[in-house]
Amino acid sequence: MERSLITVPFGPLGSNMYIVTGPAGIFVIDPSVSPEKAEAFCGMPGLSKGECGVKGIFLTHGHHDHIKYVTEWQDAYPTAGLFFSSNDKDLLGNGYMNCSYVEGTQVVYNFKFTNLDALNGAAIYKADGIDVRVYETPGHTMGSVCFLFNNDGEEMLFTGDTVFAGSVGRTDMPGGSARDLADSIRRISKLKPELKIFPGHGPASTIGDEIRTNPFFEM
- pLDDT tens digits along 61-96: 999 999 999 999 999 999 999 999 999 999 999 999
Q: Provide the pLDDT confidence category of residue 8 given band limits of 50, 70 and 90.
A: very high
**Could you tell me which residues are beta bridge partners of residue 81?**
56
**Could you tell me which residues are beta bridge partners of residue 130?**
127, 151
The contacts found for 38-47 with CB under 8 angstroms, 24 or more apart, are 38/8, 41/6, 41/8, 41/10, 42/6, 42/8, 47/76
Phi then psi for 14, rounded to 5 degrees? Answer: 70, 25
Work out the average pLDDT over 187-199.
97
- pLDDT tens digits along 90-138: 999 999 999 999 999 999 999 999 999 999 999 999 998 999 999 999 9
Phi then psi for 37, rounded to 5 degrees? Answer: -70, -40
Question: Does position 166 have pLDDT exceeding 70, yes or no?
Answer: yes
Question: Does position 180 have pLDDT exceeding 80, yes or no?
Answer: yes
Q: Provide the pLDDT confidence category of residue 1 given band limits of 50, 70 and 90.
A: confident
Q: How many CB atoms lie within 10 A of CB 60?
A: 31
pLDDT recorded at residue 132: 98
Question: Does position 219 have pLDDT exceeding 70, yes or no?
Answer: no
